[in-house]
Structure 1
Amino acid sequence: MRSPRLLAAAIATALAAALLWPASPASADLNGPVMYGNPGDVPIIGQWSLGGDDIGVYRPSNQTFYFSEGYSPLVYGNPGDVPLVGNFHNRPLSHLGVYRPGNQTFYVQYKDPVMFGNPGDRPIVGDWNGDGIDEIGVYRPGNQTFYRAGYPPITFGNPGDVPLIGDWNGNGIADVGVYRPGNQTFYLTGYNPIRFGNPRDVPIVGDWNGNGTDDIGVYRPGNQTFYPF
């Protein structure tokens, strides 16, 4: 995601699902499976270098972010936090953060903490207005609703779905979607469903080819491998 938006991803969204449900690329041209990380890691997607999205993992056991492309690991957060990745400062590269479920608070690098959401919510991150800066939000599993800070809520999906955020059409504005673990299917607003992955896979979202449009994929915890669609 040029300016990553998951949960994701994914990111935060998919990432949150990996920690709370268990759900952020080797480079912008992720054109095949890539193995990265250790058992128990959570996938993250972000822009660590100019050019496009990269892969990484968050290790809950030591609250550490590990990045592909040879960058040094970064310790950030507390035990139980959910990792976040986003363009929170309108700069070329991604910044990191965490969401603390115990107090429903977002902690982002170089920004003041923000409390948003209710107990049981899952954090999401996306550019809701196309200004190039990612904002926070939450997905509420109880009513399948996306709550975007400062913008109207969107209800989408079924009980048990995993929330997704991405720019599906390349217009610079984040859209919503869900991944249905029961049938390994992605449901993206405005598009036909796409079945991809295996049971127990974790959904991921990123711009794998650098064309300005976010694509789907999965991370397979059993072999610590990223599979782009």
Structure 2
Amino acid sequence: MSRWRIRLGVVVAALPAVLLTLPMPEAAARPDFQAPFQCGTALRAESFAHAPAVDIFRDPTSATEGAQLVAPAPGVVNQSYSNPAGAGNIIQINHGGGWFTTYLHLQSRAVGAGTRVVRGTPIGRVGHTGETSNGVSHVHFEMAVDRNGDGQAEWGYPNNERTTPVFNGVTYGQANSQSYRITSRNCGTAVDEIGVFRPSTGDWFSPGRTVATNWGEPGDRPFAADLNRDGIDEIGVFRASTSDWFTPGRTLYSNWGEPGDLPVAGDFNGDGLDEVGVFRPSTGDWFTPGRTLASNWGEPRDLPVVGDWDDDGADEIGVFRPSTGDWFTPGRTLASNWGEPGDLPVAGDWNADGADEIAVFRSSTKTWHRLGAVMRSNWGEPGDLPIAGNLS
């Protein structure tokens, strides 16, 4: 590390002065972080002498060893390794937009580098590994912003990338020798849910729950998307008759899209934030506002579906071709001869492994299927339009 810093200093000294005045990259809006423990867990956080970092314990502290640690917001694990002579088992998550969280002294690690997580995904268990833990069970937690734009976050020593942690909108670790009581509100789920929009009534349902009532109109096309990086998908509609896009309480876009467009939504660049888009069957074009995702791909009777098929943290476009039962994403076939005419496609992470799988809602039998399994029987009605996501 020191060797690289010396070399960097030599290079910087030779740069023109105008380059040295360039501003540091701005971070995106902070994700809606929740405490990295399961919903309802009582916690105690101590800044000791290393604010803004905090050491977090279960309350009572006797319950700390082995407590499950969960992701505080969606992201991708960019570090997961062991350093017995230092901080023990270490995990760092890249939450997109320049935001990172780091966890030290873990008893065990449940995720490796490259794993896609959502809020609530188990990532490891609290312990006291590494010589710097002093043999005391706790998780040393740091939140950081990538201020130098190198795609990493410095941790473990005073630096200008560490920032005060914020859980559930409350800031902690502003000063040394501070103690805080926290109750975790990390109450999301790591598994996607199925749901429906019922155009005849404007009602939205997921199994066992009404998501919304009397919202939406006949002719609206539904979608679900995480539009603020909180790990929860919001319901929304594309109103083709006016080319407007709505979520409850706000208009996303006006006069964008055309009649005949079919809405899609996904995180197309892996930054943790979903975007809305359209598939235009008449031309085979795919758009998000301000950008073309694909041109001349797909056929007029294809139905669009979007998912992270390869667990790389970014969603890809895809289609279900009812006439043949084939499923495609650009460059490869997802499935062949699966599905029936009349099936409506959805995709989701049904088992919290980070990769999305295709599925269908068969309204004629009110059944939901994924490859090799029936997901749900006798749920939904003919005329319902399916959605999927982390709806709670």
Structure 2 residue matching 1:113: 3-state secondary structure:
strand
Per-residue deviation, residues 79-124 of structure 1 (Å, max 9, x unmatched):
3211121111111211111111111111023543302112221111
Question: How many positions carry a matched residue from both structures?
Answer: 184
**Superposition deviation, residue 168 in structure 1:** 1.0
Q: Which runs of no fewer than 5 residues in structure 2 stay unpaired?
A: 1-72, 75-120, 122-186, 372-392
Structure 2 residue matching 1:112: 3-state secondary structure:
strand
- CA distance in structure 2 between the aligned counterparts of 1:111 and 1:78, rounded to whole angstroms: 15
2:199 alignment counterpart = 60
**Superposition deviation, residue 133 in structure 1:** 1.1
- CA distance in structure 2 between the aligned counterparts of 1:164 and 1:226, rounded to whole angstroms: 15
Structure 2 residue matching 1:197: 3-state secondary structure:
coil
1:178 alignment counterpart = 319
In the TM superposition, 1:20-169 aligns within 5 A as 49-68=188-207, 70-75=208-213, 76-115=215-254, 116-155=256-295, 156-169=297-310
- CA distance in structure 2 between the aligned counterparts of 1:121 and 1:199, rounded to whole angstroms: 20
**Superposition deviation, residue 158 in structure 1:** 2.0
2:387 alignment counterpart = none
Contact 2:268-2:315 at 8 Å conserved across structures: yes
Structure 2 residue matching 1:203: 3-state secondary structure:
strand
Alignment counterpart, residue 355 of structure 2, candidates 213, 216, 222: 213
Amino acid at match of 2:302: D
Structure 1 residue matching 2:210: 3-state secondary structure:
coil
Contact 1:208-1:228 at 8 Å conserved across structures: no
- CA distance in structure 2 between the aligned counterparts of 1:109 and 1:126, rounded to whole angstroms: 19
Higher alpha-carbon Rg: 2
- Higher relative CO (CA 8 A, sep ≥ 6), structure 1 or 2? 1
- CA distance in structure 1 between the aligned counterparts of 2:289 and 2:303, rounded to whole angstroms: 19
- CA distance in structure 1 between the aligned counterparts of 2:221 and 2:232, rounded to whole angstroms: 20
2:332 alignment counterpart = 191
**Superposition deviation, residue 190 in structure 1:** 3.7
1:201 alignment counterpart = 343
- CA distance in structure 1 between the aligned counterparts of 2:267 and 2:217, rounded to whole angstroms: 26
Per-residue deviation, residues 118-176 of structure 1 (Å, max 9, x unmatched):
22211111112211111111111111111122333302112211112111111121111
Contact 2:306-2:318 at 8 Å conserved across structures: yes
2:86 alignment counterpart = none
| TM-score normalised per structure 1 | 0.74
- CA distance in structure 2 between the aligned counterparts of 1:181 and 1:141, rounded to whole angstroms: 14
Higher mean displacement: 175-184 or 186-195: 186-195
Contact 1:157-1:178 at 8 Å conserved across structures: yes
Percent sequence identity is 33
Per-residue deviation, residues 176-223 of structure 1 (Å, max 9, x unmatched):
111111111101224335121122211221111111111111111111
1:14 alignment counterpart = none
Per-residue deviation, residues 17-72 of structure 1 (Å, max 9, x unmatched):
xxxxxxxxxxx9xxxxxxxxxxxxxxxxxxx941210111111110110112x333
- CA distance in structure 2 between the aligned counterparts of 1:143 and 1:74, rounded to whole angstroms: 34
Contact 1:168-1:214 at 8 Å conserved across structures: yes
The verdict on how the C-alpha distance between 1:57 and 1:167 changes in structure 2, with shifts beyond 3 A counting, is: same
Contact 1:128-1:148 at 8 Å conserved across structures: no
Structure 2 residue matching 1:165: 3-state secondary structure:
strand
Task: State the Cα RMSD in Å.
Answer: 2.2
Structure 1 residue matching 2:196: 3-state secondary structure:
strand
Alignment counterpart, residue 222 of structure 1, candidates 364, 378, 385: 364
Contact 1:124-1:138 at 8 Å conserved across structures: yes
The verdict on how the C-alpha distance between 1:109 and 1:129 changes in structure 2, with shifts beyond 3 A counting, is: farther
